[in-house]
Amino acid sequence: MLQITGVSRRFGDVTALADVSLEIRQGEFFALLGPSGCGKTTLLRILAGFESPDSGAVTLDGEDLLGRPAHRRPVNLMFQSYALFPHMTVAKNVAYGLEREKLPKAEVRSRVAEVLEKVGLTSMAGRRPQQLSGGQRQRVALARAIVKRPRLLLLDEPLSALDKKVRAEMQLELKRLQHEVGITFVVVTHDQEEAMSLADRIAVFSAGQVEQVDAPVALYERPRTPFVAGFVGANNLFSGRACSVGLAADGLGVLPGSSDLPDGTPALLAVRPERLRLDGGQNGEGVLKGEVADVSFYGGVSHVSVTVPGRAEPVLAATQGATPIRAGARVSLSWAAGDGVLVPQ
Amino acid sequence: MRRPRLLYVPFWATYLFLYAPIAVLVFMSFNSGDSPYSFEGFSLKWYGELAGNAEIRHGLVNTLVVALGSTILATVLGTLLAVGMARHSRSKLLDAVSVLPAVLPDLVLAIGLLVFYGMIKMTLGLHSVLLAHTVFGMAFVAAVVRTRLTHADTSLEEASRDLGAGPVTTFLRITLPQLTPGIAAGALLAFTLSVDEFVIAFFTAAPTEPTLPIVIYSMVRFGVTPEINALATLLLAVSFTVVIVAQRMTRLTESLS
Ligand SMILES: Nc1ncnc2c1ncn2[C@@H]1O[C@H](COP(=O)(O)OP(=O)(O)O)[C@@H](O)[C@H]1O
Ligand SMILES: [Mg+2]
């Protein structure tokens, strides 16, 4: 549906986007995930028409998008700041886009009422944006964008201005709405948990480049670049060279893992904390041995950090619920070969 | 802790210094005698005289024509100038030059305009004063609107474009309403400055079309009369009203936006 091919954009000597290519499918909830400053907003602004790339092409259903001015694109952007018009009521804000299409008044009114109902703001129609809470403003911004029934809705950090509890609610709501209206959503976020819980597919960005595009589970379980392995979720990363049974780690010996990398390729081995098995005592079974440096209890899970001789950073293991292990205990760590993911370096 | 009363002395002294002449002027305008200096009794006689003075009425009408006309022109042009500067120009020099007429000595502007009018062979009249006042009024409007624009959020304009509005609709429906308090303040400023402007008007008006300040000047040359006091009192009332209205209006528009 949306085809982005080789898009690059520089600001002076800052490369905001470097040869970005992506394909976004009809009806998909797509997330652009990456740390702050990696070019996510710039890409959205190019799609919306407020920025033009130095090179590259963008087509929507086969039609060129870049040649059209912002107000003639079948694309709507929900701004990070929401950009609600302060001198208009909620209803007027939502109606603004429809009035520009010169629709009959009655139709405008009924579509505004319908969408306000959908986002649960019918009773706020007569208020002004500054009389609303953060969550309500976010909904107005969303309503204003979807009422136009764009083919593509772009959302720039839609939830980042909200506090944690409201954010969780709005995540569910955003997903429900996307399902209901059937519009293709492209959401930008720097919060990997948010991207995972919302999106059908995620593109991970780093320094203006696409690192990996995958479904959330695949991204979590099979990171393909060192950046993704480190950025998406907590991970224990070991560096070394690929070998037939896993990784020959620098200073730690052979660690189990699975990959199709040729032997000797410089690689990282990534093991999720929750995939590590922690055994007390000196039974000699484990892959790595060490001493518990710290135990933190988070309610549902406990994090145990283990200092392993020959490695600078501690190894992190997550266990269900409370754990009897205490700081200072000698433990051994092990994992199945299938849980060690090799990433070329 | 109570502050020593003595601390208030400089404050009241300053106030007295500022307002005593004005108070005297207002007071003396109700004098029944002919002298502007010794009060003989209360009367409204000078206000009556004032209303009957054809020269003053002519000056007043001229001043209102100039003030209203130049305010309208200055407001429209100044706003466009400010928007153009803020949105379409990166030149710091152009920016600085745009407000120059507001800070230039009146005399320089007056002579400059006179020379310019001579060069383009324009006859002097009321229109020449109107245009002259537009020049500095526009600079004031631009300066005031400009400060509001730099605080305004460009994402609102982008949101408008995004929702399908072209540049003109966006300007009229989004940018302009954001600027209303600034535009209103600039317009009132231009108006009040024009009403009592003397130097530029003196240079650029035709002798047959004097503005009120010029009329007053020519009357005062033969000595201050209580009639002048009455006129000044009326002007004072008008400018007080304008300032109060301006404050109310900006507060109103600010609470709306
Ligand atoms: N208009 C601009 N002028 C100069 N630099 C810009 C501009 N817009 C973005 N940048 C730079 O481009 C990079 C990417 O910015 P952005 O797309 O906003 O990142 P993100 O949204 O991922 O945080 C940043 O280094 C930013 O400073
Ligand atoms: Mg951003």
Q: Does the pLDDT at position A314 exceed 70?
A: yes
d(CA B162, CA A137): 18
Q: Which residue has the higher pLDDT, B160 or A176?
A: B160
Domain ranges of chain A: 2-221, 234-344
Which tokens in the block code for residue B159?
């949101």
User: Which ligand 1 atom is at minimum distance from the Cα of A36?
Assistant: 23
- The DSSP-derived string for A256-273 is E-B--PPTT-EEEEEE-G
Spatial distance between the Cα atoms of B87 and B75, rounded to a whole number of angstroms: 18
Neighbours of A267 (CB within 10 A): 25
pLDDT for residue A54:
94
Length of chain A: 345
- Amino acid B255: pLDDT: 58
* pLDDT at B254 (0 to 100): 60
Residues 6+ apart with CB under 8 A from A63: none
Beta-ladder partners of A184: A152
Find out if CATH 2.60.40.1220 is the number for domain A2-221. no
Per-residue pLDDT tens listing for chain B (257 residues): 566 777 788 888 888 888 898 888 888 888 888 777 778 888 888 888 888 888 889 999 999 999 999 999 999 999 999 988 887 777 788 877 877 888 889 899 999 999 999 999 988 889 999 999 999 899 999 988 988 887 777 899 999 999 999 999 999 999 998 888 889 888 988 998 898 899 999 999 998 999 999 998 888 888 777 888 888 888 888 888 887 887 777 666 665 54
Residue found by looking up tokens 């950073």 in the block: A313
DSSP summary character for residue B42: B
Question: Considering only CA atoms, which residue is closest to atom 4 of ligand 1?
Answer: A11
Best of A44, A47, A50, A101 to mutate (most B CBs within 10 Å, chain B): A50
User: Residue B45's closest CA among B168, B197, B229, B187?
Assistant: B229
pLDDT at A167: 82
Which residue, judged by its Cα, is nearest atom 26 of ligand 1?
Answer: A37
In tens, the pLDDT along A19-35 reads 999 999 999 999 999 99
Contact A144 B163 (CB under 8 A): yes
Angle A215-A314-A302 (CA atoms, 0-180°, nearest 5)? 65
Alpha-carbon dihedral angle through residues A140, A142, A146, A151, given to the nearest 10 degrees: 160
Smallest Cβ–Cβ distance between A71 and the set B156, B165, B173 belongs to B165
Residue A282 has pLDDT above 70, yes or no: no
Of the candidates B163, B164, B178, the one whose C-alpha atom is nearest the C-alpha of residue B87 is B178
- Minimal Cα–Cα distance from B85 to chain A, Å? 20
Pocket test for ligand 1, best of A13, A33, A41 (most atoms within 8 A of CB): A41
pLDDT at A283: 61
CB-side neighbour CA atoms (13 Å) of A126 = 1
Question: What CATH number belongs to A234-344?
Answer: 2.40.50.140
Confidence at A325, pLDDT banded by 50, 70, 90: confident
- For B43, residues 6+ apart whose C-beta sits below 8 A from its C-beta are B30, B31, B32
Give tens-digit pLDDT for A222-273. Answer: 999 999 998 988 889 998 898 888 888 888 888 888 878 888 889 999 999 9
Rounded distance from Cα A160 to ligand 2 centre (Å): 10
- Cα–Cα distance measured from residue B74 to residue B56, given in angstroms and rounded to the nearest whole number: 26
Give the other-Cβ count within 10 Å of A290's Cβ.
20
- Tell me which residue in B153, B163, B178 faces A96 most closely, judged by beta carbons: B163
- Taking CA atoms, A216 is separated from A192, A196, A330, B17, in Å, by 10, 5, 35, 76
Domains assigned to chain B: 54-224+231-256 (1.10.3720.10)
Question: Ligand 1, atom 5: nearest CA belongs to which residue?
Answer: A11
Cβ neighbour number for residue B178 with a 10 Å cutoff? 20
In the reported structure, the alpha carbon of residue A33 is separated from the centroid of ligand 1 by a whole-number distance in angstroms of 15
Residue type, B63: T
- Is the pLDDT at A277 greater than 70? The verdict is yes
Q: What average pLDDT does the segment A287-301 reach?
A: 87
Place of tokens 């079948």: A74
pTM of the full predicted structure? 0.79
Q: Which of A130-144, A278-292, A294-308 has the lowest mean pLDDT?
A: A278-292
Confidence grade of residue A41 (pLDDT, cut at 50, 70, 90): very high
CA-based nearest residue to B165, from A173, A335, A88: A88
Contact assignment for A81 to B166 by CB distance below 8 Å: no
Question: What contacts B11, CB < 8 A, 6 or more positions away?
Answer: none
